[in-house]
Amino acid sequence: MTTIKFDDYLAEKLKDPHFKAEFEAENTKLQSAVILMNARERAGLTQRELAELAHVPQSTIARIERGGNTSFDTMSKIAYALGKTLEVNFA
């Protein structure tokens, strides 16, 4: 059985434009999820507490932290509840 390093496998798959587009879209959602979860935890808040401050359902916070999509409006409410601003950057 041949062994291949994941980085090599991924580099090969990323040559496919369709795969690359899907990978980058998913990666962006996951980065947002990690950023939100870290900010919430640094603030010492549970998902429920943050949801109450942001006036959104707790399930919304959980969905975002799992990498689900949400609107800019919802993310703005969450950022405000955390005492932060929402920044969107095209790089």
Structure confidence at residue 88 as a pLDDT band (50, 70, 90) = confident
- Predicted pLDDT at 91: 79
The domains found in the chain, sorted by start residue, are: 6-81 (1.10.260.40)
- Predicted pLDDT at 90: 84
Give the angle 64-20-28 at the CA atoms, nearest 5°: 20
Dist. CA 30–CA 67, nearest whole Å: 5
E strand intervals along the chain: none
pLDDT in tens, 44-69: 999 999 999 999 999 999 999 999 99
- Predicted pLDDT at 30: 93
In the chain, the amino acid numbered 29 is K
User: Virtual CA dihedral for 7, 10, 12, 14, nearest 10 degrees?
Assistant: -130
CB of 87 closer than 8 Å to CB of 39: no
Closest CA to 88 of 13, 17, 16, 35: 35
